Structure 1
Amino acid sequence: MRVPQIQIESQAGRVGLNTQKPTQRIDQPPADMIIEQPPAELFINRQPSRLTIDQTLARENLDLKSYRRRTQDNAMLGVQGIKNYVQKTVRDGNELMRIENGGDPIAAQAKRALIDETTFSTGDTPAQFSVKVEYTPAKVHVEWERHEPVMEVQINKPVHAYIPGATDVYMRQNPSLKIDFTI
Structure 2
Amino acid sequence: MNIPQLQVQTTSAKLGLQINKPIQEIEQPKATLTIEQPAAIIEMSTTPSELTIDTTENRAALDLMSMFRRGDEVAQYSQQKVQEGIARRAQEGQQLVKIENGGNPLADIIKQNTDRPVAELGIRFVGNSLQLKRSFTPGQVNINVTPQKPIIDAQINKPIHHYTPGTVTANLEQHSSIEIDWKV
- TM-score range for the pair, normalised by the shorter chain length: 0.5 to 0.7
Retained in 2: the 8 A contact 1:35–1:149? Answer: yes
The code of the aligned residue for 1:69 comes to: R
2:183 is the counterpart of 1:159: no
Aligned residue runs from structure 1 range 86-105, under 5 A: 86-94=86-94, 104=103
Retained in 2: the 8 A contact 1:62–1:123? Answer: no
- For this pair of structures, how many residues does the alignment match? 180
Q: 1:9 to 1:122 in 2, by over 3 A?
A: farther
Tell me which moved more, 9-18 or 68-77.
Answer: 9-18
Q: Indicate the SS of the match to 2:128.
A: coil
TM-score, normalising length: structure 1: 0.68
Q: 1:91 to 1:181 in 2, by over 3 A?
A: farther
Tell me which moved more, 47-56 or 168-177.
Answer: 168-177
Q: CA deviation at 1:80?
A: 0.7
**Which residue in the other structure is 2:64 paired with?**
64
Q: Indicate the SS of the match to 1:26.
A: strand
Q: Indicate the SS of the match to 1:38.
A: coil
User: Structure 1: where are the runs of 5+ without partners?
Assistant: 1-6
2:16 is the counterpart of 1:16: yes
Tell me which moved more, 147-156 or 88-97.
Answer: 88-97
Aligned residue runs from structure 1 range 1-183, under 5 A: 15-94=15-94, 104=103, 106=105, 108-116=108-116, 125-129=125-129, 130-173=131-174
Q: 1:21 to 1:77 in 2, by over 3 A?
A: same
Q: CA deviation at 1:53?
A: 4.0
- Counterparts of 2:136 and 2:147, CA distance in 1: 35
Q: Indicate the SS of the match to 1:73.
A: helix
Q: Deviations over 1:132-152 (max 9, x none)?
A: 554444321111111212333
TM-score, normalising length: structure 2: 0.68
Retained in 1: the 8 A contact 2:62–2:127? Answer: no
Alpha-carbon RMSD: 4.2
**Which residue in the other structure is 1:3 paired with?**
none
- Counterparts of 2:10 and 2:103, CA distance in 1: 186
Q: Deviations over 1:162-181 (max 9, x none)?
A: 12112234454567788999
Q: 1:41 to 1:78 in 2, by over 3 A?
A: same
Identical counterparts, % of pairs: 32
